[in-house]
Amino acid sequence: MKIIKRNGSEAEFDKQKIAVAIGKANDAVEESCRITPLQIERIVESVVISCESLGRSPGVEEVQDMVEHQLMAHGAFELAKIYITYRYTRSLVRQSNTTDDKILSLIECNNEEAKQENSNKNPVINSTQRDYMAGEVSRDITNRILLPEDIVKAHNEGIIHFHDSDYFAQHMHNCDLVNLEDMLQNGTVITGTLIERPHSFSTACNIATQIIAQVASNQYGGQSISLTHLAPFVAVSREKIKRDVKAENADIGRELSDEQISELVERRLREEVRRGVQTIQYQVVTLLTTNGQAPFVTVFMYLNEAKNESEKRDLAMIIEEVLEQRYQGVKNEKGVWVTPAFPKLVYVLEEDNIHEASPYYYLTKLAAKCTAKRMVPDYISEKKMLELKVDKNGDGHCYTCMGCRSFLTPYVDENGQPKYYGRFNQGVVTLNLVDIALSSGKDRDAFWKTFDERLELCHRALMCRHNRLKGTLSDAAPILWQYGALARLGKGETIDKLLYGGYSTISLGYAGLYECVRYMTGKSHTEPEATPFALEIMEYMNAACRRWKAEHNIDFSLYGTPLESTTYKFAKCLQRRFGIIKGVTDKSYITNSYHVHVTEEINAFDKLIFEAKFQALSPGGAISYVEVPNMQNNLEAVMQVIRCIYDNIMYAELNTKSDYCQICGYDGEIEIKDEDGKLVWTCPQCGNQDQDKMNVARRTCGYIGTQYWNQGRTQEIKERVLHL
């Protein structure tokens, strides 16, 4: 069994150290208050059993909590007091130097929590270490100076989660929809160099990747671009190629018919589209931003976003090429085709592509084939989105998420026109719903009272995020604020006007709805008797967002949080404060947002239909998923799920597996085995457990992760049941 030390590094669990610590405290009390060696031995064994029952590596603080509990249980109150006093004294000593200790453990790559904080960051490379080191300093400043003490305390205790505190010291926002159309059509500036309107599709794709990299380096959340903004440059290339073909044939004195010229032009155009799409695919997966990771970018594919039928046909050509290349994958270091994490693809289901008689049905079939092998694209239902995203004029709109799931709320500009590209999210603070329930002791009055207190805590924390952005000069990130990605403000101008009136959003996140309802009602929120209470909780949080919006003229929005490493942190904090409660705190994770629990048996169609009503109450963003086996030989079943998404839910995805063992060439599901209390990824064919010699891709928070996960998230992945 392993233990997680205070600096995040991992070590062998040594029960003798517990005995030594108890022995030292035992020697410090009067002889009449001492316990016997046999009692010490029993206490140590009880602690070991408790640690083993966690199903994961315990932290040092957790072990010490267990020791305290056992000392009290044995009636050794004086001894317990000495032990607690010693812990407190040592804690004061450590507080003066925790940041240095964490940074050193990061440099030496033995900080297990940091190594698994983000499943798309490689913690070994210098750029990631530099980002983590800067993050530790920023987090230290944030906790000591920038945030109120009660908010920091609530975050540390897992009552709330103040997201991305390692970036809070800087004036940075979360995620956005890049206005690629403005930047390509009107030009932009990248690192002091003027980039004019491109004269070909391939050049437009190259510029787009440079924009993606620049944007990613000036924010901490995801970004989204639309292929529609690249589509006009297909026509530009077509005309250019046509001129070249005519000139070439004139030079050699050959006459071709209009049909022959058109055929030759389209063949060359297809090749240019292929090269352009390949540029985006390979640039995105090979780029490293200043924070040591590939850009968290989402590519949006929406046929009805095209301005006319000609542009729609060109857009369809781009979408087809994107899906074909993603289906193929990218080569790993061994030259084997594997599943890349980025870019994330989002495909809109609409009347033009959802029915067999639809003109673009072939694209949806290709999307299904790609999903079955590579887990993307994810799907937005135009029909459901038009119902849910309605602006003040009563018009529905369909548009992409920012990153993996965060959605803007409908917005109409001063000219009465809907606007989405160029808008952004200010940040997120997440509420731990499970903690509210457990703190109430199942008393409904206490539940709502505690809920109000926690909501107000989140409200103040969110205003800290907002106020940190207020006064930010456009000069802080010219690519964002001056050169079109989000705005075209003047030098020295603040971004303040973009923070109000609904132009940007700010998100109240929530997690653990399932466990919250399970504790309060004794039932899963999927059971008819408990569903109304779950929906009441959702409505309660939305009502709070409406109140805050009216008070501040800021667009607060409810957001189904994609917990990654925090799912483990919340679970550990709950166990520490409330103990192990069956069905509530007996896992090393809590459930993301409103999702059906990963162990609950439910078919794909019922799951999507059930979760749709909760997704509708998460206007700030949410995504539903179904877990499926290898579907490459059953694409009709994939199409049935896709049709269900179109008819019932706004945004959903299918999760499958896409793994490869570099030792033996196994191309199947890499398994998770429990070895001495630690979950280890293992090749079922050769037993390889070296993570550097296998490629594993799993969906963990809307994005595909490829750099592995902490023990809590790994347990959640291991316990997922199939929905088909």
d(CA 373, CA 291): 30
Active site residue 175: yes
Contact criterion met (CB below 8 Å) for 184 and 233: yes
Beta bridge partners of 380: 348, 651
Q: Is 704 helix (H, G, I), strand (E, B) or coil?
A: strand
**CB-CB contact of 181 with 494 (8 Å):** no
**Residues 6 or more apart in contact with residue 197 via CB below 8 angstroms:** 184, 185, 186, 187
Residue 225 is inside which H or E element, if any? strand 223-226
The residue behind tokens 């903004």 is 229
DSSP string, 234-258: HHHHHHHHHHHHHHHHHHTT----H
- The single residue of 172, 370, 385, 404 carrying the catalytic annotation is 404
The CA radius of gyration of the chain, in Å to the nearest whole number, is 27
The residue annotated as part of the active site, out of 118, 174, 218, 439, is: 174
Tokens of 8: 């995040």
- Does the annotation count 425 as an active-site position? yes
Alpha-carbon distances of 364 from 149, 179, 638, rounded to whole Å:
51, 26, 10
Give start and end residues of each alpha helix (H) in 252-328.
258-286, 309-328
Instruction: Determine if residue 552 is left, alpha or beta; phi over 0 gives left, psi from -120 to 50 gives alpha, anything else beta.
Output: alpha
User: Catalytic: 167?
Assistant: no
> Which of the following is catalytic: 503, 559, 589, 594?
559
For residue 705, the cross-strand partners are 698
- Determine which one of 621, 702, 705, 712 is catalytic: 702
Spot the catalytic one: 51, 66, 172, 175. Answer: 175
At how many degrees (to 10) do helices 361-374 and 309-328 cross? 20
Catalytic hit among 133, 398, 402, 631: 402
Q: Which DSSP state fits 343? A: S
Instruction: Give bridge partners of residue 378 from the DSSP assignment.
Output: 346
With 0-12 / 13-18 / 19 or more C-beta atoms within 10 angstroms meaning exposed / middle / buried, residue 200 is: middle
Cis peptide before 532 (omega within 30 of 0): no
Q: Please pick, among 305, 320, 515, 564, the residue that the annotation labels catalytic.
A: 564
H helices present in 360-504, as ranges: 361-374, 382-388, 433-440, 444-469, 478-481
Give the containing element (helix H, strand E) for 705: strand 704-705
Q: Which of 50, 202, 226, 406 is catalytic?
A: 406
Whether 358 is catalytic is no
Residue 415 a catalytic site member? no
Which amino acid would we find at residue 641?
Answer: V
Asked if 305 contacts 232 with a C-beta cutoff of 8 angstroms, the reply is no
Q: Which of 539, 550, 547 is nearest to 456 (CA)?
A: 547
- Give catalytic status of residue 564 as yes or no: yes
Residues 354, 345, 565: CA angle, nearest 5 degrees: 125
One-letter amino acid at 98 equals: T
Query: Residue 349 in 3-state DSSP?
Result: strand
- Cβ atoms of 713 and 567 closer than 8 Å: yes
Write down the catalytic residue from 224, 237, 425, 618.
425
664 assigned to active site? no
Q: Does the annotation count 402 as an active-site position? A: yes
Which residues are CB-contacts of 266 (< 8 A; sequence separation ≥ 6)? 238
Structure tokens at 724: 């088909």
Whether 702 is a known active-site residue: answer yes
Q: What is the DSSP string of 392-412?
A: TTS-B-----BTTTB-PPP-B
- Distance, CA of 79 to CA of 608 (rounded, Å): 55
- The residues carrying an active-site annotation are 174-175, 402, 404, 406, 425, 559, 564, 702
